[in-house]
Amino acid sequence: MADQARDGNTVVIRYTGKLADGSVFDSTEDREPFEFVVGAADILPGISSGVVGMREGEHKTIDIPPDDAYGPHDPNKLVTVEASRMPEGVGAGDLLTDSEKRRWLVQKIEGDQAVIDANHPLAGQTLHFDVELVSIR
């Protein structure tokens, strides 16, 4: 067993992810802890680098700026389309998936136009994770 988490270790964490206003956007509270390989490409870089040096049982808050999370909000990913192209019953705040598996958030529908957003819902946000390192392998 490793003494401290480092690149290449498989770690298990419990976490609660919050936005700047304190609202929770994700948590392992009601599900299994999250397991990942430190340094792997499929994990947010800020989480991966944030656990490096942690010991089992240690708690830490990791603050992740947009560039190490889901990137800045890109205004070029806002698209105006004809409202008639929206599925029946869709409104502002709904999430759509197109045939290429891209996710679009409906920003607003006004008159015959709809504004949809291809940015990740957390783009442009600084994320705050309260993390407990459960185990290192």
pLDDT tens string 11-26: 999 999 999 999 999 9
Over the stretch 64-114, which tens digit does the pLDDT of each residue have?
A: 999 989 999 999 999 999 999 888 899 999 999 888 888 899 999 999 999
Fold topology of 10-71+122-136:
Chitinase A; domain 3 (3.10.50)
Please measure the distance between the N-terminal and C-terminal CA atoms of the chain and give it in whole angstroms: 6
pTM for the whole structure: 0.80
List strands edge to edge, sheet with 95-97. 78-82, 113-117, 103-110, 95-97
Over the stretch 18-67, which tens digit does the pLDDT of each residue have?
A: 999 999 999 999 999 999 999 999 899 999 999 999 999 999 999 999 99
The pLDDT assigned to 18 comes to: 98
Q: Which two tokens stand for residue 109?
A: 């529908």
